[in-house]
Amino acid sequence: KAGVTQTPRYLIKTRGQQVTLSCSPISGHRSVSWYQQTPGQGLQFLFEYFSETQRNKGNFPGRFSGRQFSNSRSEMNVSTLELGDSALYLCASSPDRGLNTGELFFGEGSRLTVL
């Protein structure tokens, strides 16, 4: 069974640009969560999607947005990039956060560098 796939793995952007990251969950998983990992802050929750609906949202500004498609694939977008947005963005999937025990399966992440 293929794991969670994130693309691109690495990217470099400049301040003010926007970026879109993609995540393909494990087949059959309907919930997709996004996290930002930075050296000083650990993993911070961005948002969770289930059946194309945003079910939970963390404390990030509106520049961070996401969506989920009918095949459960998800994208997150960051507009007007700032230097502080440089981080590893992790996507995680699970069969159904409402029914299971909360275990998440993570992808390898997309490393974003903002110059």
Partner 1 sequence: DQQVKQNSPSLSVQEGRISILNCDYTNSMFDYFLWYKKYPAEGPTFLISISSIKDKNEDGRFTVFLNKSAKHLSLHIVPSQPGDSAVYFCAASAGSQGNLIFGKGTKLSVKP
Task: Provide the binding-site residues for partner 1, judged by CB under 8 A.
Answer: 4, 33, 35, 40-45, 48, 55-56, 58, 90, 92, 97-99, 101-109
Rounded Cα distance between 74 and 66, Å, is 7
Letter string b/e over residues 41-77, b meaning 16 or more CB atoms within 10 A of that residue's CB = eeeeebbbbbeeeeeeeeebeeebbbebeeebbbbbe
CB of 72 to partner 1, least distance (A): 17
- If the CB atoms of residues 62 and 102 are measured against partner 1, the closer one turns out to be 102
Rounded Cα distance between 93 and 107, Å, is 8
- If the CB atoms of residues 15 and 57 are measured against partner 1, the closer one turns out to be 57
- If the CB atoms of residues 14 and 96 are measured against partner 1, the closer one turns out to be 96
CB of 106 to partner 1, least distance (A): 3
Q: Could you give phi then psi for residue 84, rounded to 5 degrees?
A: -70, -5
CB of 86 to partner 1, least distance (A): 16
- If the CB atoms of residues 22 and 106 are measured against partner 1, the closer one turns out to be 106
